[in-house]
Amino acid sequence: MKDCIFCKIINGEIPSKKVYEDDKLYVFLDLNQDCPGHCLIIPKVHYINLRDIPTDLLNYVMQTAIKLYGFIEEKLNCDGMTLLQNNGCAQDIKHFHLHLLPKYISKPNLSIDEVYDMLTKK
């Protein structure tokens, strides 16, 4: 979809703070962080919502979310994780995406750049 902001991010037309990428998925920090480490998992192929995405890819998204939960927990020392996926009128961008929202007992005051550095530091 040529007008989809997520497709433009995947194609490199819009910059992003990439956290993970493979042949099926692209994961990046949400610019409007609800909490430090708020990431979006998006398929590289454009699917509108939960009804549109193939089940095998949806399962792969969830497997990747589990891996990223462990990674984010290790790097940011979060105390939990909320997964959020909106559809229909609740969906701002009509490209399937899964929000990973780290939760903290004591929320750290970190900028998106500080979070990005913590997640990408080897």
Q: Are 119 and 37 in contact (CB under 8 A)?
A: yes
97 an active-site residue? yes
Within 8 A by CB and 6+ apart from 86, the residues are 92
What φ, ψ does residue 82 adopt, rounded to 5°? -105, 135
Residue of 38, 46, 95, 97 marked active site: 97
Q: Are 23 and 32 in contact (CB under 8 A)?
A: no
Question: What is the spatial distance between Cα 62 and Cα 56, in angstroms, rounded to a whole number?
Answer: 10
C-alpha dist (Å) from residue 84 to 4, 8, 56, 113, 121? 20, 22, 19, 23, 26
- The residues annotated with a catalytic role in the active site are 97
